[in-house]
Amino acid sequence: MAQQTSEDRIRTLVDTFVEELTAEIRNSAMESVAAAIGGMVTTTTRRKPGPKATKGATKTTRKRRGPGRKQRSSISSEALLKAIEKAQGERTEVIARGLGVSAKSFKPVLDELVGSGTVIRKGKARGTTLHIG
């Protein structure tokens, strides 16, 4: 067997030192983070994949609304009217963003207002804008 040169021994020692130092820095960082958020950090391990689904397996589904039942809106018609007045001629997405809700959530209320003639829709599809009638 060939004898290690002093250069090889030094390189081995340096590599070992770097590996140990890196591990110590990583542990120290994890401890600091754990202390900062109250000890909730643990080392991460990869989860092993679970069993594969069989043919007879069924998916869980959301509870669906019954026939004729509409989704309830999270916004009143008065609030929607004020928002449309304030943003005269804007699209529903813009008005919804201003209210902090989704356009889908106030669609039933908007449909009632359009049906009563209080609000007028102009345009088609995504180009539709809302105006006070």
Does 113 map to a domain?
Answer: yes
62 inside domain: no
Q: What is the CATH number of the domain that holds 128?
A: 1.10.10.10
Owning domain of residue 23: 7-38
Is 101 within the bounds of a domain? yes
The tens digit of pLDDT for each residue in 13-33 reads 999 999 999 999 999 998 888
Kindly report, residue by residue over 91-122, the tens digit of the pLDDT: 988 888 888 888 888 888 888 889 999 999 99
Reported as a single tens digit per residue, the pLDDT across 1-18 is 457 788 889 999 999 999
* Model pLDDT, residue 79: 87
| Residue 98 maps to a domain | yes
Q: Is 108 contained in some domain?
A: yes
pTM score of the predicted model:
0.45
Total domains present in the chain: 2
Q: Cα(96)–Cα(123) distance, rounded to whole angstroms?
A: 18
Pull the structure tokens for residue 16: 């070992």
109 assigned to some structural domain: yes
Residue 31 inside a domain? The answer is yes
In a domain, 51, yes or no: no
Q: How far apart are CA 54 and CA 58, in angstroms?
A: 9
